[in-house]
Every structure is written in C-alpha cells, then in structure tokens.
C-alpha cells in the first residue's frame, strides 16, 4: 500500500523541528536591537518591557540561503499590502528601477504567490511580509533548488520589534483601536515581521535609523529611500505649473497631508504653533484631509483645544487617489511634517513628506529627526524645527516672506530630483544585484556603494539672478526642452530658433536665455517666440540681470526646464530636424546622463566634424571631444551641481560637466548620425574668448583644479580654422 503524499507546507512544518537554533538567534537579535535603541526610548514608560509572546510552538523559519550561483537577475517583489501607497513606493517604483537597471522584475501579492512564481525568481524582495506557514513554504521553495534564491526583507517602518508595539510609542495603536486590533495583536504582527527578517539573507530599509535596527537580525544590503517614478514627477510638475497660472486668492495654506488616522501624537508637536499663527494671521489656513468617504477626518481636532474658534480657518479636503495627490499638494504654500523627536518609531520614519512636496515646488517644515536632518538643508531646501517656538518662527517667517518660501521649494525640487529619483535607485539596485554572483563581485559592489556613500555633499546649481521677458505655457507634457543661450547673436538667433521649430519631435518645450545682449537680440527672440508660441508646449524667454557668462546662462535655462531632458543649443548654431527625436530615443534606451551626436562644422575652409566616435569616461583625461550640443538628463545636471559659473574662465563648462558625470559614474552615449551644425565665425566664443592665450590659461587651471585626474596633452590656445 503506497504512502499518502503530504502537502508541501506540511513537509516544511516537519522540517521546522530541526531549526530550533534559528529561534534562539531571533530572540538574541531582538535583545540586541532593544539594547541599541534603549537610549532613544530612555525615560519612556514601558521601554523596559520585554515582549511576553512565546513562539516555540510556531513553525520555525528556514536558514538563510547561499549566494546566487549564476548571474541571472530575475527579481520578484512580494507585497503584503498591495492596495496601499506604500506598495506603490516599495514595489512598483522599485520594480521600475530594477527594469531600468537592465534586469527583469515582477510584482505579486503575498496571497497569490505560488510555486511557479517562486521558481521564476532568483531574487525575492519581501515587502512587509509577516511570517506564516505560507511564507515558510515560499522560502522553502526558494531555497531547496540547485540555485537558491537570494531573499531580501524590505520594510519602511520599524515594525520588527514587538516591544515597540505600545500606544505611548505608536499612537496609531490607540487611534485605530476601533478597528478591533489589540495591543497583543500588534505585538504578534511585529514579531512575525521580525521572523521573516531573520529568515532572509539581507534587508532593505528606507532610512539609516531603520537600517540600524534591522542589522540586529540581518545585514542591510541597501538603504533605499522611497523614490518617485517619472510619471509622478511629470504629474507633480504639471500640478505646480497649473497652480502658478491661477490667480491668487491671498491665502497662505499650511498643509498637513496625513494619510491615516495615526498621527495625533505627531501633530501635537506643531499644534500650538499652528494655532497661534492662525489666530494672528487672518489669511492663514490649515489644510486637513478626510477619508475617501468624506465623513471621517484623518486628524481628530477635538483632541486639540487650541483650535477652538478657528474652524473658519481650517480647510477640509477629501483624500484622493495616489495619481491625483500632487494636485492637492500643489495647493499648499508650505507642507508640514511634525514627528515625535526621540521616539524610535518616528525616528525611523522616511522623508517622504519632504520629497512629495518638493516635486511640486512646495517647501517643507519638518521635525528635526535624524532622517529629516539628513534630507533637508536647513534654510536652503527646507526648514527644521525642534520646539514649538521654532515651529512658530518658521511658519511666521514664510508667511511674511512668500518669496523665500518659493525659493526653498525650488531648491528642494532640484535636491529631490538629484537624489530621490528612480534613476539614482536603479544605479544602487544594479550595483547590489551585480554583487550577488560571487565573492569578488560582492567586493566590487561594496567598494562602489561605499565610495558613493562617501561622495562630497551635494551642491545646488549656481543660478544667477534673472527675470522673465516672455512666457507661455499650454500645460501639456513634453519630454524634451531645447535650451538656447544667446549673447549678442541677433543676426544668428532666428535661424537657431527656426531649427528648433523644425524638429520632428512634436511635443517640445523651448527655453531661451539672453545673457545681457546689447545688439537687439532680446527683441528678436521675444518677437519670434510670440509668433511661434503655438508650436511649443511651453515657451519661456529669460534674461540674466547682468552678463554672467556661458555657465550662468546655461544654468538659468536648466533651472527653468520642466522636462526630463534638455537639448543644449547656442544661438549661433542649428539643429537638424531629427536631432531631438533621435537623441531622446538614444538617451532613453541607454538610461544615460547625456547623449551626443556627430556635429558638422560649417563656415570654415573645409568640412570637419565633432563627435565622430564614442568617448568613454577615461577619454576625457587628456582632452574633450564632446561638444556642448548634447541632450542632458535634467536630474543628472542637478546631481552634479550644474555647470560651473565663472566669467573669467568660461569656455569649458561642457567639458567640466562631462567630467563631473564621469566622477559620479554617470555615463554618456554616442549617436552616430550628424544631427547639428556648428558655425565657425570670427565672433564665436571659442575663438573670441576661450582660445585667447591668457584666458585659456585660466580655463585650464580652473578645470584642472576641479578635476585633478585630468592630464591635458595640449594646453596651448588654438583658434579654430575659419
């Protein structure tokens, strides 16, 4: 008589008895994490309580797997909460980053995981997955095969320490008690999250404080902040531009975008300051949200007596789907992110309220937790507050000076585009995945990740003061802006602009920067743009307040760009019709920082070309052979601090930018078609300024000091043949 075949989960359960050491390790890990966090919760009632939950009777987690034995990269994201915004950030956006890095990615809800999906995956990323028999079986399938999968536990809140599941630490336990979850159930949930973490090979976290807590159980492979997608960026920018065109109503809106009714304790940090400001400033408003149903407020104001009598200054909005949230954020004049400083759960929270607001040009005032101190440059990209007095001073200061609020919002946008975009995430994930195949590969990946972490602090692009001469925005969405810089080129600029209008790429933005021309060029530019505004999605003509040189003019133009990519064009040159279309296709296909074409030099005694061959980063050591007429990813420009601005050493701003990209591992890509014409003439900047002997010496010294690895083989001034 044949034996009855047991289901896979029961076989896994039987093997659990052999894994008792894993339970002991988990318990020791919890104790180590408590000790690491004790200073942060010292003095809080109950911080010495050890979770009374026993788990000896539960199925025990299997041991971590060995490294991947091959180089395939198929990544499966398993989501425990597929209907939440967190799923969008931690699964959908991360999967998009994995694909951008050249790997395969799939997303599946935890309850839908089956043998086929596990068999496909070589890397499993488990987001907020609490341990269960189902998870045990999934891990067993992932590991009991010739090439075991690499398992990563991903989490965006400190939900792995049961002793933190107390109402005085996590206010949501109290405010959500009507849902029927008891404190004991919260503790059990946290413990099950901890068990999945202990059963994984590594962990991802959103913040450094969270990573420190996770390391008590497993190595943290990467700190991956919540990243935004290209679509989220585009929707946010359209929302910001739309708001900029609306007539003002004279109100100053303080927005608090709480997504759930679990932030009463956090809001209390700023509540007295907000109430005091509302009482004194008649045109100030506090914007709060209700649940989607429209009847349940997400903040219980009855717990804050200071707001009695201020009902008319409180705007209640109904929560909207994720894709529409940017329109709500763009209504704010300032977004607030109060948190209970020193509370370990709050200290581990992400900076998402800063990044979401920044995409809409909205500044953020945040509590000075460790994460917000790392994210926000106080007074430059936002404001930090540690007391009620500081909250009140920050709010009053921005209300009194709306221009400063707008400047903080713009600076925050560039910082967020540079550091929190999906392109940056793709680089980190690619480096991590490359290290899974061997010990040598792991060492190489670690070297790169550690070196990037030690990079000098980000510097904001230097954007000289300027003013608007003309603007027209149809509020559509383009992928490319052409940035035209002009200085005393009235006789050439119309031809350059006509070449932009002739582009085969239909949706196009045009940014023109005049750097203080004295030959009537501004009038020519504005008249042409007024006549041709219907050709473009958006047209902006800017003029520097004083002549600032090529780098300053380029930065003024880039600062006005709303698209993902910008094509650089000097007013004495022209683009061929296919230039933007072909370079956009190339830069997107390679996820590059810049794309450069072959350029024909015209006007000289003989035909010559620029950029006829591909140039790798080391090709810049001795000289530059990539012209400024290239398409540049906007985020990459922001990441390296833009073009340098120095009138007495101008001329190599493009070369310097390529060197900055090389230093940060941002690659360019060559397109082998002739897509532009470079005009040789006696008043061209190259001959008229850059290649003058005394000036050339300053240029070489300046760029050489910025990039000591350069070893220029020809530092003498040389005129281009006419």
Domain boundary among 223, 254, 283: 223
Q: What residues contact 642, with CB distance under 8 A and at least 6 apart?
A: 461, 462, 463, 551, 554, 555, 558, 657
pLDDT digits (tens, 9 = 90+) for 356-409: 999 999 999 999 999 999 999 999 999 999 999 999 999 999 999 999 999 999
Task: Give the domain range for residue 349.
Answer: 230-412
Any domain includes 494: yes
pLDDT digits (tens, 9 = 90+) for 116-132: 999 999 999 999 999 99
Nearest-5° Cα angle at 522, 242 to 685: 115
Any domain includes 455: no
Of 70-79, 85-94, 238-247, 476-485, the one with minimum mean pLDDT is: 70-79
What confidence score (pLDDT) does residue 693 get? Answer: 72
What confidence score (pLDDT) does residue 716 get? Answer: 54
What confidence score (pLDDT) does residue 259 get? Answer: 72
Alpha-carbon distance of 577 to 595, in angstroms, equals 16
Residues 374 and 473 reside in one and the same domain: no
Q: Is the pLDDT higher at 539 or at 47?
A: 539
Residue 68 has pLDDT above 70, yes or no: no
Alpha-helical runs (H) found in 253-401: 264-280, 325-329, 344-347, 352-358, 370-375, 388-400
Residues 375 and 500 reside in one and the same domain: no
Residues 610 and 487 reside in one and the same domain: yes
Q: From the CB of residue 682, how many other CB atoms can be counted at a distance below 10 Å?
A: 9
Q: What residues contact 301, with CB distance under 8 A and at least 6 apart?
A: 288, 307, 314
Contact 125, 47 (CB under 8 A): no
Residues 690 and 566 reside in one and the same domain: yes
Residue 44 has pLDDT above 60, yes or no: no
Average confidence (pLDDT) over 601-626? 87
Alpha-helical runs (H) found in 331-438: 344-347, 352-358, 370-375, 388-400, 402-419, 422-434
What confidence score (pLDDT) does residue 689 get? Answer: 58
What confidence score (pLDDT) does residue 713 get? Answer: 64
Alpha-helical runs (H) found in 482-627: 490-501, 521-531, 549-559, 579-590
Residues 363 and 493 reside in one and the same domain: no
Any domain includes 552: yes
What confidence score (pLDDT) does residue 383 get? Answer: 98
Any domain includes 602: yes
Of 67-71, 297-301, 432-436, 638-642, the one with minimum mean pLDDT is: 67-71
CA 654 centroid distance within chain: 25
pLDDT range class, residue 33, cuts 50, 70, 90: very low
Average confidence (pLDDT) over 150-171? 95
What confidence score (pLDDT) does residue 685 get? Answer: 61
* CATH number of the structural domain spanning residue 349: 3.40.50.2000
Q: Is the pLDDT higher at 658 or at 613?
A: 658
Alpha-carbon distance of 508 to 506, in angstroms, equals 6
Average confidence (pLDDT) over 566-571? 98
Residues 207 and 324 reside in one and the same domain: no
Average confidence (pLDDT) over 240-263? 91
Any domain includes 477: yes
Residues 543 and 676 reside in one and the same domain: yes
Q: What's the domain count of the chain? A: 3
What confidence score (pLDDT) does residue 177 get? Answer: 60
pLDDT digits (tens, 9 = 90+) for 81-91: 999 999 999 99
Domain boundary among 197, 223, 249: 223
* CATH number of the structural domain spanning residue 607: 3.90.550.10
Q: How many helices (H) and strands (E) does the chain have?
A: 27, 22
Average confidence (pLDDT) over 486-513? 97
- Based on its alpha-carbon atoms, the radius of gyration of the chain, rounded to whole angstroms, reads 28
Any domain includes 457: no
As a whole number of angstroms, the longest Cα–Cα distance in the chain is 101
Alpha-carbon distance of 287 to 335, in angstroms, equals 9
CA distances 551 to 63, 121, 513, Å, are 56, 48, 11
Average confidence (pLDDT) over 493-497? 98
What confidence score (pLDDT) does residue 717 get? Answer: 44
What confidence score (pLDDT) does residue 329 get? Answer: 97
Residues 345 and 205 reside in one and the same domain: no
Residue 41 has pLDDT above 70, yes or no: no
Mean pLDDT in the chain?
88
Residues 76 and 21 reside in one and the same domain: yes
Of 111-125, 259-273, 522-536, the one with minimum mean pLDDT is: 259-273
Average confidence (pLDDT) over 242-267? 91
Residue 645 has pLDDT above 70, yes or no: yes
Q: What residues contact 360, with CB distance under 8 A and at least 6 apart?
A: 236, 237, 239, 240, 243, 326, 329, 330, 332, 409
Structure tokens at 259: 């997504």
Residues 23 and 155 reside in one and the same domain: yes
Residue 5 has pLDDT above 60, yes or no: no
What confidence score (pLDDT) does residue 478 get? Answer: 97
pLDDT digits (tens, 9 = 90+) for 651-700: 999 999 999 999 999 999 999 999 999 999 876 665 555 566 788 889 99
Residues 258 and 162 reside in one and the same domain: no
Q: Tell me how long the chain is.
A: 722
Domain boundary among 392, 412, 432: 412
Residues 51 and 155 reside in one and the same domain: yes
What confidence score (pLDDT) does residue 659 get? Answer: 96
Alpha-carbon distance of 500 to 505, in angstroms, equals 10
Percent of the chain with pLDDT over 90: 77
Residue 311 has pLDDT above 80, yes or no: yes
Q: Is the pLDDT higher at 319 or at 688?
A: 319
- The reply to whether the predicted model has a pTM over 0.85 is yes
CA proximity to 554, closest of 624, 470, 647, 490: 647
Alpha-carbon distance of 360 to 236, in angstroms, equals 5
pLDDT range class, residue 179, cuts 50, 70, 90: low
What confidence score (pLDDT) does residue 668 get? Answer: 97
Q: From the CB of residue 443, how many other CB atoms can be counted at a distance below 10 Å?
A: 11
* CATH number of the structural domain spanning residue 207: 3.40.50
Any domain includes 698: yes
Percent of the chain with pLDDT over 70: 86
Any domain includes 441: no
Strands 631-633, 538-544: pairing kind: unpaired
Q: In what order do the strands lie in the sheet with 364-367?
A: 314-318, 284-290, 252-255, 334-337, 364-367, 383-385
What confidence score (pLDDT) does residue 178 get? Answer: 53
pLDDT digits (tens, 9 = 90+) for 548-562: 999 999 999 999 999
């Amino acid at each position: 008589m044949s034996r009855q075949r047991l289901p896979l989960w029961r076989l896994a359960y039987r093997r659990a008895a052999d894994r008792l050491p894993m339970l002991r390790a988990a318990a020791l890990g919890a104790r180590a994490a408590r000790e690491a966090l004790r200073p942060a919760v010292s003095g809080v009632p109950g911080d010495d309580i050890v979770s009374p939950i026993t788990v000896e009777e539960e199925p025990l987690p299997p041991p971590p797997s060995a490294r991947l034995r091959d180089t395939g990269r198929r990544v499966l994201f398993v989501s425990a909460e597929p209907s939440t915004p967190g799923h969008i950030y931690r699964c959908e956006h991360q999967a998009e980053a994995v694909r951008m890095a050249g790997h395969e990615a799939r997303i599946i809800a935890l309850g839908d995981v089956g043998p086929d999906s596990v068999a496909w995956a070589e890397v499993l990323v488990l987001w907020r997955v609490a341990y269960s028999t189902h998870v045990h079986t999934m891990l067993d399938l992932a590991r009991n095969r010739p090439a075991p999968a690499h398992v990563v536990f991903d989490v965006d809140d400190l939900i792995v320490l049961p002793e933190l599941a107390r109402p005085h630490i996590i206010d949501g336990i109290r405010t959500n008690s009507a849902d029927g979850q008891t404190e004991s159930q919260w503790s059990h949930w946290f413990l099950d999250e901890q068990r999945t973490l202990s059963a994984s090979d590594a962990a991802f976290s959103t913040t450094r404080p969270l990573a420190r807590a996770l390391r008590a159980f497993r190595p943290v492979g990467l700190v991956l902040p919540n990243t935004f997608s290209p679509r989220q960026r585009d929707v946010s920018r359209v929302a910001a531009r739309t708001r900029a065109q609306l007539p003002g109503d004279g109100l100053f809106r303080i927005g608090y975008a709480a997504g759930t009714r679990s932030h009463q304790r956090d809001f209390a940090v700023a509540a007295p300051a907000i109430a005091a400001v509302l009482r004194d400033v008649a045109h100030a408003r506090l914007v709060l949200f209700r649940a989607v149903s429209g009847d349940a407020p997400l903040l219980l104001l009855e717990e804050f007596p200071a707001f009695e009598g201020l009902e008319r200054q409180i705007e209640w909005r109904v929560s909207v789907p994720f894709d529409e949230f940017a329109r709500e954020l763009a209504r704010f004049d300032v977004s607030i992110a109060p948190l209970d400083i020193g509370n370990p759960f709050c200290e581990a929270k992400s900076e998402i309220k800063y990044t979401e607001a920044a995409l809409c040009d909205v500044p953020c005032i945040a509590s000075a937790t460790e994460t917000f101190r790392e994210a926000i440059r106080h007074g430059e990209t936002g404001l930090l507050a540690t007391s009620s007095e500081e909250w009140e001073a920050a709010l009053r200061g921005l209300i009194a000076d709306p221009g400063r609020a707008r400047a903080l919002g713009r600076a925050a946008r560039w910082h967020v585009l540079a550091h929190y975009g999906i392109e940056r995430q793709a680089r980190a994930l690619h480096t991590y995945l490359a290290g899974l195949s061997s010990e040598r590969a792991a060492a190489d990946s670690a070297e790169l990740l550690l070196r990037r972490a030690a990079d000098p602090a980000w510097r904001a692009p230097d954007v000289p003061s300027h003013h608007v001469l003309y603007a027209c925005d149809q509020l559509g969405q383009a992928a490319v802006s052409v940035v035209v810089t002009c200085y005393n080129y009235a006789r050439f600029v119309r031809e350059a602009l006509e070449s932009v209008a002739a582009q085969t790429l239909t949706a196009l933005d045009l940014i023109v920067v005049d750097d203080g021309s004295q030959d009537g060029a501004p009038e020519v530019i504005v008249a042409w743009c007024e006549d041709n505004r219907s050709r473009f999605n958006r047209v902006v003509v800017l003029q520097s307040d004083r002549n600032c040189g090529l780098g300053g003019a380029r930065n003024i133009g880039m600062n006005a760009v709303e698209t993902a990519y910008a094509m650089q064009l000097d007013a004495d040159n022209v683009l061929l019709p296919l230039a933007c279309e072909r370079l956009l296709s190339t830069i997107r296909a390679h996820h590059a920082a810049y794309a450069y074409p072959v350029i024909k030099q015209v006007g000289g005694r003989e035909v010559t070309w620029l950029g006829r061959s591909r140039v790798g980063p080391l090709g810049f050591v001795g000289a530059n052979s990539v012209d400024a007429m290239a398409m540049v990813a906007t985020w990459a420009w922001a990441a390296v601090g833009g073009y340098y601005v120095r009138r007495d050493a101008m001329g190599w701003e493009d070369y310097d930018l390529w060197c900055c990209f090389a230093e940060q591992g941002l690659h360019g890509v060559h397109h082998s078609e002739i897509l532009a014409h470079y005009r040789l003439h006696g008043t061209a900047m190259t001959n008229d300024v850059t290649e003058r002997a005394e000036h050339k010496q300053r240029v070489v010294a300046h760029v050489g000091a910025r990039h000591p690895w350069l070893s220029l083989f020809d530092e003498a001034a040389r005129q281009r043949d006419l």
